[in-house]
């Protein structure tokens, strides 16, 4: 890891403090040199990057440092999961306000490293810089098992059955509760600590024709899958897996707009659905059949009665109409 612009705070001690929370990376060259050097196996590599930014994706008043560290890695692991990749390495670029408390930095490292250990992904390098707002940008890499194709958005065919993991809308409800002054609930935990579906992604790679992780709401992300696969879709709205709290507070429409669920939406050819469902049962991953892909105008989505679904705009987490200003008011 290298540092720019934080000389006053003792950059090397900050780096040492951060790294001390992670296991030593077992790679040819790890943190401390100008580049990390990796030794990939035979599988193809999947690489992605994503950032979490103060007052856009989290507020420091509401998220503990551990929550922030967890979420920064979780959103990236979710993208690896959606491709069916096995997490391997990541680099971390931290932008810290001047005089950022060392104990908060340690908290971020603890939250991140706990999730990294769970998924055996190694921190191999990064960068520190100073900035007005806290932000964490991760670049993560994973590998596909040799001979396994990645799960993409583009392989869906008419007739494929649609599945969603877990439940929808909880993270959005959690954000609404935070905005209204609630500080603790199951939904708030889903907002702060999303669980990337890495195991399901690996398992699903053997069965699915297409898939992606739901980060912008089911409606919007299903639209992405349909457009890429050049198909339309039929959703059985009454089958959507919603918690009782989400059903009461957001309803089906709100849950469809969702956002930050980080569940996987998967399309499975009908002849593979029995084996897929058995594998999910064995792996103890909850998945629900919610509809199917159909012929028709690409990206068009109907409900089971054939009514065209006017798709609510995807939920753009703390951005746009819901950006949170520094006083905590919804902007
Ligand atoms: Mg994604």
For the chain of 331 residues, list the mean pLDDT of each consecutive stretch of 10: 51 87 95 92 93 94 97 98 97 95 97 98 95 97 94 97 97 95 96 97 96 93 94 95 96 89 97 98 96 90 84 52 36 31
Domain count of the fold of the chain: 2
User: Which residues are CB-contacts of 248 (< 8 A; sequence separation ≥ 6)?
Assistant: none
Same domain, 132 and 211: no
Predicted confidence at residue 318, as pLDDT, reads: 52
What are the φ/ψ torsions at residue 221 (nearest 5 degrees)? -75, -35
Same domain, 204 and 76: no
Angstrom CA distances, 281 to 131, 139, 162, 166, 263, stand at 46, 32, 17, 13, 17
Tokens read off for 221 = 């992300």
Helix ranges restricted to H, 131-195: 170-179, 186-192
Question: Binding site: residue ranges?
Answer: 34, 48-50, 57, 79, 126-127, 153, 213, 215-216, 260, 315
Same domain, 173 and 296: yes
User: For position 36, which CATH number holds?
Assistant: 3.30.1330.10
Tokens read off for 211 = 């898939």
Same domain, 130 and 211: no
Same domain, 169 and 239: yes
- Residue 35, CB half-sphere, CA atoms under 13 Å: how many? 2
User: For position 165, which CATH number holds?
Assistant: 3.90.650.10
Same domain, 225 and 277: yes
Q: Which domain holds residue 303?
A: 161-320
Q: Which of 211, 215, 180, 193 is nearest to 276 (CA)?
A: 211
Our CA angle for 130, 326, 114, nearest 5°, is 60
Predicted confidence at residue 297, as pLDDT, reads: 86
Predicted confidence at residue 300, as pLDDT, reads: 85
Question: Binding site for substrate: residue ranges?
Answer: 57, 260, 315
pTM of the model: 0.91
Q: Provide the CA 297 distance to its chain's centre, in angstroms.
A: 29
Angle between helices 65-83 and 102-118 in degrees, nearest 10: 30
Same domain, 118 and 196: no
Q: How many whole angstroms from 214 Cα to the centroid of ligand 1?
A: 7
Same domain, 196 and 228: yes
Please indicate, yes or no, if residue 156 is contained in any of the structural domains: no
Please indicate, yes or no, if residue 113 is contained in any of the structural domains: yes
What are the φ/ψ torsions at residue 204 (nearest 5 degrees)? -70, -25
Per DSSP, what are the bridge partners of residue 48? 140
Please indicate, yes or no, if residue 148 is contained in any of the structural domains: no
Same domain, 127 and 201: no
Q: How many whole angstroms from 5 Cα to the centroid of ligand 1?
A: 32
Predicted confidence at residue 8, as pLDDT, reads: 42
Same domain, 169 and 135: no
What are the φ/ψ torsions at residue 296 (nearest 5 degrees)? 135, -175
Please indicate, yes or no, if residue 15 is contained in any of the structural domains: yes
CB-based neighbours (< 5 A) of ligand 1, an ion: 79, 213
Q: How many whole angstroms from 181 Cα to the centroid of ligand 1?
A: 29
Please indicate, yes or no, if residue 257 is contained in any of the structural domains: yes
Please indicate, yes or no, if residue 305 is contained in any of the structural domains: yes
Please indicate, yes or no, if residue 134 is contained in any of the structural domains: yes
Same domain, 166 and 314: yes
Question: Binding site for Mg(2+): residue ranges?
Answer: 34, 48-50, 79, 127, 213, 216
Same domain, 193 and 273: yes
Q: How many whole angstroms from 54 Cα to the centroid of ligand 1?
A: 20
Predicted confidence at residue 328, as pLDDT, reads: 38
Domain boundary among 112, 143, 174: 143
Predicted confidence at residue 84, as pLDDT, reads: 97
């Amino acid at each position: 890891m290298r540092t720019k612009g934080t000389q006053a705070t003792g950059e090397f001690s900050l780096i040492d403090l951060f790294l001390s929370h992670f296991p030593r990376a077992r790679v040819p060259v790890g943190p401390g040199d100008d580049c990390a050097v990796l030794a990939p196996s035979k599988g193809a590599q999947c690489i992605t990057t994503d950032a979490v930014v103060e007052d856009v994706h989290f507020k420091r008043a509401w998220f503990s440092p551990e929550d922030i560290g967890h979420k920064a890695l979780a959103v990236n692991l979710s993208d690896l999961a959606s491709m069916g990749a096995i997490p391997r390495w990541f680099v971390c670029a931290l932008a810290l306000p001047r005089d950022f408390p060392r104990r908060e930095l340690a908290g971020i490292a603890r939250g991140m490293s706990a999730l990294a250990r769970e998924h055996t992904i190694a921190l191999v390098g990064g960068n520190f810089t100073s900035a007005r707002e806290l932000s964490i940008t991760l670049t993560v890499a994973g590998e596909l098992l040799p001979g396994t194709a990645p799960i993409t958005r583009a392989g869906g065919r008419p007739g494929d059955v649609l599945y969603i993991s877990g439940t929808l809308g909880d993270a959005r409800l959690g954000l609404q509760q935070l905005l209204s002054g609630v500080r603790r609930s199951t939904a708030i935990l889903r907002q702060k600590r999303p669980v990337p579906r890495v195991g399901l992604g690996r398992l699903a790679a053997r069965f699915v024709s297409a898939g992606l992780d739901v980060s912008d709401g089911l409606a919007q992300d299903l639209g992405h899958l349909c457009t890429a696969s050049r198909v339309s879709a039929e959703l059985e709205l009454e089958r959507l897996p919603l918690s009782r709290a989400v059903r009461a507070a957001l309803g089906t429409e709100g849950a469809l707009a969702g956002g930050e669920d980080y569940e996987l939406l998967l399309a499975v050819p009908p002849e593979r659905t029995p084996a897929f469902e058995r594998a999910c049962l064995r792996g103890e991953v909850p998945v629900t059949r919610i509809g199917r892909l159909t012929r028709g105008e690409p990206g068009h989505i109907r409900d089971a009665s054939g009514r065209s679904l006017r798709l609510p705009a995807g939920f753009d987490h703390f951005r746009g109409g819901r950006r949170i200003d520094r006083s905590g008011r919804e902007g």
